[in-house]
Amino acid sequence: MGMFHLAGVAALAACATAAPAETSAAQPKSFLKELGNSTWIIGNGIWNMTQGRQYGVKLWYKGKDRVGPTATGHYVSYNGAASDLNWTSAAIADSGRDWINVKFTAKEGDFHWVIHDDLAGAYQYFVNHALPTLGEFRTLWRLDNVSFPNGHTNVKDGELPPLSEYAAATNVQDETWQKADGTFLTKYDWSAFIRDQTYYGVYGDEVGSWYINPGKDYYNGDHLKEELMVHRESKTGDAVQLNMIHGTHYLARSSDNFTDGKTWGPWLWYLNDGNKADADRRWRQEDKAWPYEWFKNTAYQSRGSVSGKLLLSDGRPASGAAVFLGDSNSALSTADQGKDYYYTAYADKQGRFTIDDVRTGTYGLYAWGNGGSIADVTTSFVQNDVVVSKRKKTDLKSLKWTVTDKSKRIFQIGDFDRTSRGFALSGPTPFEHGRIAKTPGNLTYTVDRSRSSDWFFGQSNLGTWSINFNLKNVPESATGARLYTSLAGFSSGTKSNILVNNEKIGNISSNAVLLVSSQDTYRGATQAGEWRNLQWDVKKELLKSGDNKVDITVTESTQWRGWLWDSVVLEWV
């Protein structure tokens, strides 16, 4: 079968170049061949793939089928595995002297492969026409586990767990197994912050398959958007390379409708001999070339820039602030925005920021603290109706960010940066299943004596975390106090009461404060999920000169569910 297929591909390549002598040099060697019965072959002289109605079932590269006898191959789907796109036709939509653009059409939209004669791999993009309201939309490869035994992201590299380990372990949760030694196997340990990715994929000694996404404006969510990147398929052993172009693995309510013509991509799917240094070089090459001049799409090529300077109302520059360009006049959090195009940046030490190559349109500008000299800032900045015009520089000049009076701060635990960084067990590995179970049920933190590293990244177990603090006096001018319990993530199933000097002022519970569960702690997130800032009024008479305390008492606990801590702040109002 393999010899016949390779010979057939050679013949197809020859047919693709067959032309009168005077024009043969202008004909690409890349090809599309229809075999009938909703089956096609695409590729070039380096690789080729056999595409069926749903799945790319064979990938020939370096003399072998890299999908293998049991793996599914390549496909596009939404809302999990329930809805794989069915291709009704394929055609060469455009071409040049050394490339073709192959368009596969489904009722939901068109998936394109831009194949160059000399490229191991292809550029890919999807144009929406009729996708339903969705949370997850992805393209992916499920590949041969012998050719691709290893996985790589920007934070994790190494062997994917062999299929035999799953067979000997006990399933304890969705795609999570416990081994005899008490450790866990889970695909979610291969998650990462998606906007931090350079190149990622699966590889072995002779072959590597990589996704390179230099332009990330088609992703949903903000700087802290996390996604599953690669993993071992537990039932078949396939090496899975995910391209979650609209994902929800660690979010609460990201579900969107898309306009006709919404485009994800282009990105590069890249093949090599498994060399990570080569994949890194290719990433740098693609990043430098983005946005791609060759992509002749009017909306894609229509871009401008946005700049400005964020200044806090107390006179400080918003040094290092996270800056997000998203939906204007939106009721959604920045994590949950996803219907259009989104851009992220960080301000410099003076609070200045510039975001280049922004698609033209009207945006909302958002900013929040990212630690450092503004780790005390509990407010966020929003400016709506920011207009970006083609080839124009939108200069927003100085932007005033209102903050609370630092002199009214009673205490603060941890940076107010929407992450658990700096707390015990929060890193350096950002994902580890079950780590929240290692945090204590009971803990005492004494203000001015304890450090942030004495507080833990998450809370789940039954017990009380007490914050002891001393007040020299209760200011006459104060009308009360405000307690911020800022959460970097929350998975429902664990509940707590919040008490000030033994009087309950609130609780952390999906029922009590209308917290929608996000899929973070039980999927192993240790630094961020979906951020929530819970604020509680504290009556003035509850506080007194001398010793005081805040208790956060877990009254109900569900294994691996709870919350990730961002910061706890108490201030006078």
Co-location of 211 and 67 in the same domain: yes
Report whether 217 contacts 206 (CB < 8 A): no
Residue-level pLDDT at 25: 55
- Residues 411, 378, single domain; the answer is no
Domain co-membership, 108 together with 231: yes
CA dihedral of 73, 74, 79, 81, whole degrees rounded to 10: -10
At 520, is the secondary structure helix, strand, or coil? Answer: coil
Tens-place pLDDT, residues 393-423: 999 999 999 999 999 999 999 999 999 999 9
- Inter-CA distances, 446 with 455, 458, 467, Å: 10, 18, 6
Domain count, the chain: 3
Show the low-confidence residues of the chain (pLDDT under 70): 1-26, 512-514
Domain of 120, CATH number, reads 2.70.98.10
Q: Are 146 and 179 in contact (CB under 8 A)?
A: no
Is 482 in contact with 570 (CB distance < 8 Å)? Answer: yes
Domain-ending residue, one of 341, 375, 401: 401
* 440 shares a domain with 394: no
Of 372, 401, 430, which one is at a domain's C-terminal end? 401
Q: Which of 257, 183, 197, 229 is nearest to 432 (CA)?
A: 183
Domain identity same for 39 and 186: yes
Residue keyed to tokens 């005390």: 376
Please say which residue of 342, 372, 401 terminates a domain. 401
**Looking at the structure, do residues 498 and 552 belong to the same domain, yes or no?**
yes
Do 258 and 311 fall into the same domain? Answer: no
Cis peptide before 291 (omega within 30 of 0): yes
Contact 160, 151 (CB under 8 A): yes
Domain that holds residue 394: 302-401
Residues 6 or more apart whose Cβ sits within 8 Å of residue 304: 358, 360, 388, 389, 390, 391, 392, 393, 394
Q: Residue 356 belongs to a domain with what CATH number?
A: 2.60.40.10
> Quick one: 375 and 428 in the same domain?
no
- CATH of residue 413's domain is 2.60.120.260
* CA distances (Å), origin 482, targets 260, 265, 515, 531: 46, 45, 19, 19
DSSP per residue, 172-236: EETTEEE-TTS-EEEGGGGEEEGGG-SEEEEE-SS-EEEEE-S--TTS-S-TT-EEE-EEE-TTT
Instruction: Judge if 84 and 146 occupy the same domain.
Output: yes
| pLDDT score recorded for residue 22 | 36
Q: Which two tokens stand for residue 530?
A: 């979906």
Same domain membership, residue 266 and residue 322: no
Beta bridge partners of residue 41, listed in sequence order? 33, 50
Q: Are 75 and 63 in contact (CB under 8 A)?
A: no
**456 bridge partner residues:** 424
Same domain, 356 and 439: no
Considering the domain architecture, whether residues 285 and 363 belong to the same structural domain is answered as no
| φ/ψ (deg, to 5) at 10 | -60, -40
Comparing CA positions, the residue from 105, 85, 84, 83 lying closest to residue 32 is: 105
Collapsed DSSP state (helix, strand, coil) of residue 465: strand
Q: What is the pTM of this model?
A: 0.93
Q: What kind and span of H or E run contains 300?
A: helix 298-301
Can you tell me the distance from the alpha carbon of 200 to that of 213, in angstroms, rounded to the nearest whole number?
A: 9
**Contacts of residue 130, Cβ cutoff 8 Å, sequence gap at least 6:** 107, 108, 109, 260
